[in-house]
Structure 1
Amino acid sequence: MSARLSSVIWPVVHSERLALIQDLESLPPQQWEAPSLCPGWDVHDVVAHLVDTAKTTRLGFLRRMMMAGFDFDRDNALGVARERTEDPGRTLAGFRAVVDRTSSPPAPLATRLVEAFVHGEDIRRAVGIERDYPTAHVITALRYQLKTPAKIGGGKERAQGWRLVASEAAFEHGTGHDVRGTAKALLLAVSGRPVMPSELTGAGAEAFTQRARP
């Protein structure tokens, strides 16, 4: 990890963690149980996952994967169970305690942006909160997802066969029928999250939206 890349990305991640904490502070208890955009997880689960990954070190990740039988989904489930408390307020306090950490699993640093933006929307869209993210960094996360296979959390296969065009930035990817939308909407779609039909336009938008759904 280059020092320059680290100095650019971590402040964004820390800022997004803090913003999410601030949004969650006034969340009614029942909304913590709302199904998130992340399949199988409610809002509380996603927050617990964010606490868990913020604590994860490169060496610790390898040890955990061995304990989970190298099953990525099982490791995630164990992490959620470990950090989710009976009281959402305590889980939020746990998130607040790791807001400035810079530990990470052994993965490219762009994955921290993917996590911050996608999981941030997993939660916010479930409870009706809107947020604008820094476009340049969303594009960085989108570029990473587009070159990463779906089996390890990316969206390479979902994007094949379309020309993705960001509406607010100089970004395009691939060939085929146009799919146009904000960088945030494109990031969510290639990450397997549902988006509103109105968020994507172009000749390929309807088919792409259907394919991108989990």
Structure 2
Amino acid sequence: MLSVRALAARERREFADLLDDLSPQQWQSATLCSGWNVRDVVAHTIAYLGQTRLGLTASMLAARGRVDRLNDRALRPYAGPDELRALMRSGADPSGAGALYGCRVELIECLIHQQDIRRPLGLPRTISADAVRTSLTFARVSPVIGGARRIRGLRFIATDLDWSAGRGLEVHGPGEALLLAMTGRVDAVTTELYGAGLAELCRR
């Protein structure tokens, strides 16, 4: 198994490969992130490259602890796709905020946001089981992602890899779909999930 750092670096390089093939129209397309187009999601994903823990703390304080406000402020007016592509590729090795929690921040950031773009554009891919498993485990305990809150009283069981977590009514599905549900994108994966706990998950 690759280290988390290696998984994160690979994920960002694959993200950069995706961007290389997008048309100008696709850069303006909607994503799974409400109100954000592809350009916005990419800008967000590279916004914290090189930012120190102290700098991130200061930004969080300035945003009064609101992650949505912090993210909106981080959408710098980049020159355009060419600059974003270059930054995505040059920032492959986890650094700054992306290196927090043993590089798990960069891994899940790049994995989730790549799917935010790929799914609406109809550009599926095969994600490594190690990357999905590591991201699922981190999403469940990360206070920023809030996975624990979303699956409280439910048991998530992956059908395509050896992973399960939680107690209560069961929700089954592919690891990627469980991860997207855990990170607040349940509407995009409802048809991929099943189990006695699905109705409660959707209600939340």
Partners in 1 of 2:140 and 2:154 — Cα distance? 12
Shift of 1:39: 2.4
Q: Does 1:22 align with 2:14?
A: no
Task: List runs of 5+ in structure 2 lacking aligned partners.
Answer: none
TM-score (norm 1): 0.83
Q: Does 1:103 align with 2:93?
A: no
Partners in 2 of 1:113 and 1:36 — Cα distance? 19
Instruction: Name the amino acid aligned to 1:47.
Output: V
Instruction: Name the amino acid aligned to 1:183.
Output: G
SS in 1 for 2:96: coil
Partners in 1 of 2:55 and 2:49 — Cα distance? 12
SS in 2 for 1:54: coil
SS in 2 for 1:170: coil
Q: RMSD of the TM alignment (CA)?
A: 2.2
Residue in 2 that maps onto 1:3:
none
Residue in 2 that maps onto 1:125:
119
Aligned residues: 201
CA deviations 1:49-83 (Å, max 9, x no partner) are 11112232212212333444444322221211x2x
Moved over 4 A (4+): none
Task: List runs of 5+ in structure 1 lacking aligned partners.
Answer: 1-6
**Could you tell me the percent identity over the aligned residues?**
34
Shift of 1:107: 4.3
Highest RCO, 1 vs 2 (Cα 8 Å, sep ≥ 6):
2
Residue in 2 that maps onto 1:189:
181
Match of 1:35 among 30, 51, 58: 30
Residue in 1 that maps onto 2:52:
57
Whether the aligned pair in 2 keeps the contact of 1:58 and 1:105 (CA below 8 Å) is no
Whether the aligned pair in 2 keeps the contact of 1:10 and 1:102 (CA below 8 Å) is no
Partners in 2 of 1:68 and 1:207 — Cα distance? 32
Residue in 1 that maps onto 2:82:
89
CA deviations 1:109-164 (Å, max 9, x no partner) are 32222212111111111211112222123122212222344xx2221121122221
CA deviations 1:148-199 (Å, max 9, x no partner) are 44xx222112112222111122222223332111111101001101333331
Partners in 2 of 1:196 and 1:85 — Cα distance? 31
